[in-house]
Chain A
Amino acid sequence: MNLNETTVTKDFHVEEPLVPKRTRLEEFWLLFGQNRLAIMGLLIFILFFCCAITGLFLTSGSKPIFDPSLVRLEEKLRPPCSKSNLDLLEPDQVPTLNFYLMGTDDLGRDVFARMLQGAWVSLTVGFVAVGISVLIGIFMGGIAGYFGQHYIKIDHILLTLLLVSGTGLVILDVILVGAALLLLGAAYIVYSVLTRHRSKKKEHSSWGAMFHINAVSVDTLIMRIVDIMLCFPSFFLILTVVAILPASIYNIMIVIGLTSWMGTTRFVRAEFLSLREQDFVAAAKALGIGNFRIIFRHMMPNAVAPVLVSATIGIASAILTEAGLSFLGFGVPPPHATWGNILSDGKNFIFDAPWLTFIPGITILIVVLSFNLFGEGLRDVLNPKLRERH
């Protein structure tokens, strides 16, 4: 049977594809939903988030509904779910609903109110710290991965040294030498810009060429910085900085963020190294798209998967670190309540008032567990290799 001429021209009705269309988001939810633990993690996280926000409203302001810092020495160490002793208290000291949901601590403060206040602190610490570390990590990792093969020339290094030392000396009141160095650096910048404009060719004069040799590649430089940071045991570094700086919640967040960006950098760099060789990057370059747009608009969404996973797990670890710091006495200063504070205050009363240890401990456990489960669920979904083959 000869089909060459006949069937090509025949017009037939090819049916619509039978597979139901699914967007990427729907597919993501479908896969994610099969992991029950991860769904539980997500739900608990949402619950925690709502608690933190409501807690913020309920405990802040001058006349909060649940007052976390009101000291009532008459009501020390009351067990959970106990009624307050109305005879001993002033009218404005009576807790809302006349009820200590989680008991009181050794200063008579309502533990439930403190937990609510602490929720917001833990949430903020977690998110801000991880936000900082992820931003730094993406930036450093992206640059290292994309521009890795570019070299930093010696004249750039000298220039940077001149400027930095000049600024440093000026700060340290050695104005003359400092200013001289700064002027030298500025002059060099002007000179190089002018020569580059004047001559169309890329080469510089012989003077400039001497300094224009390759010193070290961007990739090596950034990886060495990562290595240097990794040489400091992280907890010690945080401890050192926190002990030295004045205690405040912002310092803690910034320090935790500044000491945990190394992992993200490595992930992003590895992803970028493999993405850079892919054809869509070459296609984008061929269209004339600039480098930074390629990095942030085209490559980053593809590289974001391991970053997301490490970010969720990073939030969990930031909360644990903050609790640890509070335990050692370096956390957020009183009277601000954090879960770590409550835990560490309670360690002296372990046998008399176990709820002071168990309530914050179990709460931290559940919240951190939920973050970890959510992160692992994300990892299983975003990593096609580990998925069941459908």
Chain B
Amino acid sequence: MLSFIGRSFVQKIITLFFVSIVSFLIIHLAPGKPSQVDPMNPKFTPEMVERFRKEFHLDKPLYVQYVYFYQDLFTGKTVSWKDNQSVLKKIWDRFLNSLPLFFVGTLLTWTLSFPIGIRSAIFREGAYDRTATFLSYLLISIPGFFFAYVLIIFVVTRFHVPVIGMETFGIGDASIPYILMDRIWHLLLPSVLGATGGIAVLSRYVRSQMLEVEGQDYIRTARAKGLPPEQVHYKHALRNALLPFVTMFGLILPGLIGGSVIIESIFSWPGMGRMAYEAILARDYPIILTVNFVSAVLVLAGTFVSDLLYLIVDPRIRL
């Protein structure tokens, strides 16, 4: 078991290294320059451009830049080119904003998908299953922003739920319960939006896994023993059907930094997604590369956790 962990860890480090190289190359070899060093940009005089280039080592060859950049990254000194703030601090602030959105969305997704999927599988082709299937297809197929606008129109005209931003403008002095309620109101619509797509996909997957397990021989054995249907479904079938989801659980981790650019744009939510989007537009290399790096770390950590969980949960795999 330990050797597996060790090997896996080393492989992930190597992958991370290659990811860092690839992302660096993509950014720097692409056409177009950051606005600060664009010779066409009228805002910056040539001296400022030169100074900028010297300060950020843009005049040195690529591999030197690479070393400098990652040195700065690991010591926390990277600064954004747009506003000279520390990149890590910026990311952290935005991350804290995205966190509640992500948390509520994931919670909704995972707690709702399983009952829906399991019920659909047990009562296959029943009315519940048909409705759930149809709704799932609908939710998977709808363009995100279209659905967002439909929801916004509906909610704003009916319920007057505030929609834009994280909190109502000017609420700063109100009492704590009000602030809390305000935050929750604002959180509601974006996270529901984010969750619906996830619920649609995950519940279908749960359903198909349950169906596959229910067709197995050992379920027939369980029934032949005289077990009541609840025990057959929830004890014998579910335990086997849940195995792949344990591994998917580890893969939630990368979602932390994903954020949805579209949802955040629509709701003007100051989150990670929008920051990355703006950074791409402004060619703010440090932010783009750092976000990329952090995301790669999260993906690799997520797969690592998944593999570990799978080892623990499935008795057939004992390395």
| Residues of A that sit less than 8 Å from B by CB | 37, 224, 227-228, 230-233, 235-236, 239-241, 243-246, 316, 320, 323-324, 327-328, 340, 343-344, 347, 350-351, 354, 357, 360-361, 364-366, 368-369, 371-373, 376, 385-386
Contacts and interface: CB of A to CB of B under 8 A. Distances in A.
Nearest to A351: B153
B208 A328 contact: no
Contact of B141 (A233, A239, A343, A365): A365
A202 B211 CA distance: 53
Nearest to B138: A369
A230 B149 CA distance: 30
Nearest to B266: A347
B138 A328 contact: no
A236 B19 CA distance: 14
How many residues of B sit at the interface, in one of the four size bands? 35 or more
A383 to B, nearest CB: 9
9 contacts: A228-B18, A231-B19, A233-B254, A241-B26, A243-B280, A343-B146, A351-B153, A368-B142, A386-B208
B265 A364 contact: no
Given A365-B142, A373-B137, A244 B32 contact: yes
A244 B31 contact: yes
B30 interface: yes
A327 B19 contact: no
A364 B280 contact: no
Contacts of A386: 208, 211-212
Nearest to A41: B137
A357 B149 contact: yes
B143 A364 contact: yes
A327 B264 CA distance: 13
Nearest to B19: A231
B299 A230 contact: yes
Contacts of B23: 232
A361 B146 contact: yes
Interface in B224-265: 254, 257-258, 261-262, 265
A327 B149 contact: no
Interface stretch (B96-104, B176-184, B288-296): B288-296
B126 to A, nearest CB: 14
A178 to B, nearest CB: 15
Contacts of B15: 224, 227-228, 231
Given A320-B143, A328-B262, A365-B146, A245 B295 contact: no
B150 A369 contact: no
Given A245-B31, A323-B143, A365-B142, A232 B149 contact: no
Given A350-B153, A357-B146, A386-B212, A232 B137 contact: no
A371 B145 CA distance: 19
Nearest to A344: B145
Contacts of B42: none
**For the complex of A and B, 7 pairs with smallest distance between CB atoms:** A361-B146, A369-B141, A231-B296, A368-B141, A244-B30, A231-B299, A231-B19
Interface string B105-142: 00000000000000000000000000001100110111
Nearest to A243: B280
B38 to A, nearest CB: 14
A327 B257 contact: no
Given A351-B153, A360-B146, 16 more contacts: A228-B22, A231-B15, A231-B295, A232-B19, A232-B295, A235-B261, A240-B288, A243-B281, A244-B280, A245-B30, A316-B141, A343-B145, A347-B145, A364-B143, A365-B138, A369-B141
